[in-house]
Amino acid sequence: MKDYFDLNGDGGSDVMGQVIALRKAIKQNLSSVNHLVAVGSGKGGVGKSTLTMQIAAALRRRKCAVACLDADFNGPSLARLAGLRDAPLLPGRHGLVLPKSSTGIGILSLGSVVPETEAVDFASVASGDSHVWRATKEFAMLAQFLATTEWGTLDYLLIDLPPGAERCFQFAEFLGHGTEFVLVTIPSEVSHGVVSRSITALGKAKASIIGLIENMGGYVCSGCHTVRPLFPPTNTDPARIPFLGSIPFDPELARRCDAGEALLPHDDSPVTKAIDAAVDNILSTLNERIAV
Ligand code: ADP
């Protein structure tokens, strides 16, 4: 068998041709998507998936056509949050049929097809290099999802990113300059530190950042329904980027997420109001950019 270095050119695979064709297919398939917004952080467990869903719900309340792609292939959770854990991913006339929540939000998540008891495993060709192979497979899968899903006409496609500051960079490079990033932190110095790295990584990729949402900035007291402090004050300030708003921790929202009800109306709650205010800021930034 030939060693990798013995291959002449692309070894006859026309790999560049395939990459270019796939890029073209992605562009074509996303041509009716108005805005691509990636929700990242670098840090895990800070509420990226939760806020992706809440932003989607807020956009839907404004009558926008919206879908979410769960790009956290190793730890997909959007299917559970949307109550779509058993939604099959079926081939349609023009590609993969996009499962929809009862509120009309498209959700593409591996959590719909891989049970939570199973690890999402990207089989490796070589044990020592499995991390390299895994990353390659992940991006190949992302490309396939983007190129072959029947997204339809969308105002917003939200992409829920996996944790890892370097992943922000990789996704920014992969998704290209049409993608806008929203970052999520919790009010802790540990989280601020990671998010700060992600901001630097996105800067290196020349990515466009809309701003930062602080999640769990206080909690909704179940007794008095007011927002009370949750984290101690910090000495760090990650906001080298515009601040979009602070979302409180709401035990009822946590319950709804676990129960698959994250997209159902949660009207008049402090979370809904805070999300609406953050979405106002996201939209005004996007509108300003269009106007320029
Ligand atoms: P990430 O996507 O960053 O890993 P998740 O969105 O999965 O984080 O959130 C982690 C946990 O915290 C989940 O159980 C989620 O329901 C809960 N959670 C996140 N934000 C909130 C919030 N504002 N109110 C209530 N629960 C929240």
Q: Using DSSP, state whether 132 is helix, strand or coil.
A: helix
Kindly give the distance from the C-alpha atom of residue 189 to the centroid of ligand 1, in angstroms, as a whole number: 18
Q: What is the DSSP letter of 140?
A: H
pLDDT at 239: 67
Tokens describing residue 217: 């900035």
Instruction: With cut-offs at 50, 70 and 90, classify the pLDDT of residue 26.
Output: very high
Residue nearest to ligand 1 atom 27, measured at CA? 254
pLDDT at 278: 98
Q: Is the CB of 216 under 6 A from ligand 1?
A: yes
pLDDT at 59: 98
Q: Name the β-bridge partners of 67.
A: 106, 157
Q: At what angle do helices 15-29 and 130-148 cross, to 10 degrees?
A: 40
What is d(CA 102, CA 99) in angstroms, rounded to the nearest whole number? 10
Kindly give the distance from the C-alpha atom of residue 249 to the centroid of ligand 1, in angstroms, as a whole number: 8
More reliable by pLDDT, 135 or 161: 161
Work out the mean pLDDT of the chain and round it to a whole number: 90
Nearest atom within ligand 1 for CA of residue 251? 25
pLDDT at 289: 82
Residue 217 has pLDDT above 70, yes or no: yes
Kindly give the distance from the C-alpha atom of residue 18 to the centroid of ligand 1, in angstroms, as a whole number: 38
Residue 31 has pLDDT above 80, yes or no: yes
Q: Is the CB of 185 under 6 A from ligand 1?
A: no
Letter string b/e over residues 36-50, b meaning 16 or more CB atoms within 10 A of that residue's CB: bbbbbbbbeebbbbb
pLDDT at 127: 63
Contact at 8 Å (CB) between 105 and 263? yes
Q: Is the CB of 167 under 6 A from ligand 1?
A: no
**Residue 106 half-sphere exposure, CB side, CA atoms within 13 Å?**
23
pTM above 0.95, yes or no: no
**Residue 55 half-sphere exposure, CB side, CA atoms within 13 Å?**
32
Instruction: With cut-offs at 50, 70 and 90, classify the pLDDT of residue 19.
Output: confident
Contact at 8 Å (CB) between 185 and 215? yes
* Percent of all residues in the chain with a pLDDT value above 90, rounded to a whole number: 72
Rounded to a whole number of angstroms, the CA Rg of the chain reads 20
Residue nearest to ligand 1 atom 21, measured at CA? 249
Q: Is the CB of 220 under 6 A from ligand 1?
A: no
Contact at 8 Å (CB) between 39 and 77? no
